[in-house]
Amino acid sequence: MRKPAPKANPAPTMAATAMAQSRFPLWLIGGLLVLVTIALYWPATGHDFVNYDDKEYVLDNTHVTSGLTLENARWAFGNGYAGNWHPVTWLSHMLDCQMFGLNPWGHHLTNVLLHALNAGLAFALLQQMTGAGLRSLFVAALFAVHPLRVESVAWVAERKDVLSVFFGLLALMAYARYADGRRQKAERRMEKPEGRGRWSVVCGPWSLSHFPSSIFYLLSLFFLALGLMSKPMLVTWPFVMLLLDYWPLERFKRNSAWRLVTEKIPFLVLTAVASVVTFVAQQQEGAVKTVQKLPLGVRSGNALISCCRYLGKLFWPTDLAVFYPHPGQLPGAKVLLAGVLILGISVLLFVKRRRSPFLLMGWLWFIGTLVPVIGLVQVGEQAMADRYTYIPSLGVLILPVWGAYELTRRRRYHMIALSVAGSAAIFLCMVLTQQQLGHWEDSEALFRHALQVTENNYLAHGGLGTALGKKGQIDEAISQYQEALRLKPDFTDVHYNLGNALNRKGQIDEAISQFQETIRLQPDYALAHNNLGNALYRKGRDDEAISQYQEAIRLKPDYSLAHNNLGNALYRKGRDDEAISQYQEAIRLKPDYADAHNDLGLALYRKGRTGEAISQFQEALRLEPDHPAARKNLDFVLATKADSPQHPSTSTNP
């Protein structure tokens, strides 16, 4: 009887063979991808900060601008500021300020480097799991250079995107290594059967007999924890790991589904904790919209349409904007069509799962990782956002790359044809990305472009108004603010900014009206209370101004500007001792506050404490050599030595 031939190992794919025969080692190819990505996004290092979240995250956040300290680290871990609990992201911003100060190039450079590393990690992960080097390279390259990545890379406030994915990919690489260790151990047991001890059965992945692979399991947990503390969108990572178990790791063929699910319990616990903390933080900040404002039907319809729009922009990336206004109620026909399309794709890929499991895996990665940001729980005002595709795009890009390979693998010269087509797609994406990067050069360019490619974009009008106001174009800024309020009458920040612009024009009564409306809409708006105090002070209504400054300080005790302004109002009322106390508190909170040193000098001089006053004027000039009021006051005191100065009042105009 003829002895059956031994079962041969499956032949390596042509892509894997091509990469193996290449003169370039895989690490060098990954390194080249990283360098190309850095070169593509390098222009972002010459960009400015933008007036959309960058001030809140960096420029006006004293915890961040003062650098990496123990006190600031405690703050990072102990609050949900800006509606998110992401302490690792805060620490990264603090480190940037420690290294680069407030020079925008350094903050942008960190984003660029993190994104380039993510491209290299994506290539390494796919190649590690599939052995298909060329296909892995195309997926990683398309992910790296796609125009949809620009928002996450060129926007300093979106550090959380690139940082969380950096740790998330490390977590998946460690998990894949753990899964490979489990497979190798199982194969060794099959070759040389041994009884499993009671300890192994009880402990599962934690067994001492699995010590090498368990290290990678622990590393995966550790990196996921860091990723969740960078951005909670990684709550879908246990689901992604199960998808990798299905393809390309194919662990479902060797393990029961129950075993693979229970193996993810520690990961699920991490993500559950992160979800609860994030939801609480967002509710406290008012970022979660109520059901009355956006009913479930509206949110569900927008979610379906947004899924389709994300797909469209992945394959035809045009008209990209920093903000897409939520349309509210959507036409039922559009929602139905979107639902049918998504369901149809899902059914088709499910039917094809046996021959092409990568199709279903990539599609479920795309749909599943969109769930936290698709708008079923509405956070913010946007209908969708380009940055939300950062993670989902990795999965969906597998479909065209692996799909094209499977469709053409039996044809002659198919690798040459696919390489040419893939290279053309990468080149086109690079051209579009260069164009999109230009729109992020500064706030004016960003919001002008958004207005060109969207309709009724109240946020873009408001942002453009702020950019124009910063350049001194007050009338143009007011016009943009008024248009924003026409589209969205309850836009709190625009009422506040319009009040500031009117105040600068000397239209004090109109400014007071805008600040009062801001406070009506948001009573805890500390800056609005302070600036309403400023306007009242200019009108000579000192008692009302003092009341507003006190309310601003109650809402924000570390508000150094409000302390100084309160000091000025008290000084004008002749309450010098109270004024001195407020100036000293302002300086304690902000030691380099030149105006506060000057104003403290005035109050001390009027109290007859001439030596101390001179010291404060000199400190103001040391901090700001061109400070006109401090120079004038110091010269006056030194020249007259009078007891009751008649020189101009405080340097700050509250």
Can you give the pLDDT at residue 15?
39
6 falls in which pLDDT band (50, 70, 90)?
very low
Q: Is the pLDDT of residue 203 over 50?
A: no
Q: Is the pLDDT of residue 506 over 50?
A: yes
Distance CA 283, CA 471 (A): 35
pLDDT digits (tens, 9 = 90+) for 340-372: 999 999 999 999 999 999 999 999 999 999 999
Task: Specify the 3-state DSSP secondary structure of 324.
Answer: strand
The one-character DSSP state at 277 is: H
> CB neighbours (10 Å) of residue 640?
11
Q: Is the pLDDT of residue 386 over 60?
A: yes
**Within 13 Å and on the Cβ side, how many CA atoms surround 85?**
20
The one-character DSSP state at 47 is: P
In this structure, are residues 652 and 595 in contact, taking their beta carbons and an 8 Å threshold? yes
289 falls in which pLDDT band (50, 70, 90)?
very low
Can you give the pLDDT at residue 278?
84
Q: Is the pLDDT of residue 193 over 60?
A: no
pLDDT digits (tens, 9 = 90+) for 36-54: 999 999 999 999 999 999 9
Q: Compute the mean pLDDT over every residue in the chain, rounded to the nearest whole number.
A: 90
Q: Mean pLDDT over residues 317-343, rounded? A: 95
Q: Is the pLDDT of residue 10 over 50?
A: no
Distance CA 267, CA 236 (A): 10
Task: Specify the 3-state DSSP secondary structure of 126.
Answer: helix
pLDDT digits (tens, 9 = 90+) for 403-456: 999 998 888 888 899 999 999 999 999 999 999 999 999 999 999 999 999 999
In this structure, are residues 650 and 602 in contact, taking their beta carbons and an 8 Å threshold? yes
Q: What is the pTM of this model?
A: 0.88
Q: Mean pLDDT over residues 191-203, rounded? A: 42
Span of 291-305, 385-399, 550-564 with lowest mean pLDDT: 291-305
In this structure, are residues 569 and 537 in contact, taking their beta carbons and an 8 Å threshold? yes
Can you give the pLDDT at residue 370?
96
- Domains of the chain as residue ranges with CATH: 25-189+207-283 (no CATH), 289-408 (no CATH), 445-587 (1.25.40.10)
Can you give the pLDDT at residue 548?
98
**Within 13 Å and on the Cβ side, how many CA atoms surround 168?**
32
Beta bridge partners of 379: 288
207 falls in which pLDDT band (50, 70, 90)?
very low
Query: Can you spell out the DSSP letters for 224-250?
Result: HHHHHTT-GGGGGHHHHHHHHHHTTS-
pLDDT digits (tens, 9 = 90+) for 101-159: 999 999 999 999 999 999 999 999 999 999 999 999 999 999 999 999 999 999 999 99
Distance CA 7, CA 20 (A): 24
**Helix, strand, coil shares of the chain as percentages rounded to 5?**
75, 0, 25
Distance CA 485, CA 488 (A): 5
In this structure, are residues 269 and 298 in contact, taking their beta carbons and an 8 Å threshold? no
More confident residue, 596 or 25: 596
642 falls in which pLDDT band (50, 70, 90)?
very low
Q: Is the pLDDT of residue 239 over 60?
A: yes
At residue 394, φ and ψ (nearest 5 deg) are: -60, -40
Task: Specify the 3-state DSSP secondary structure of 587.
Answer: helix
The one-character DSSP state at 382 is: E
Can you give the pLDDT at residue 31?
94
Can you give the pLDDT at residue 201?
32
Distance CA 134, CA 585 (A): 62
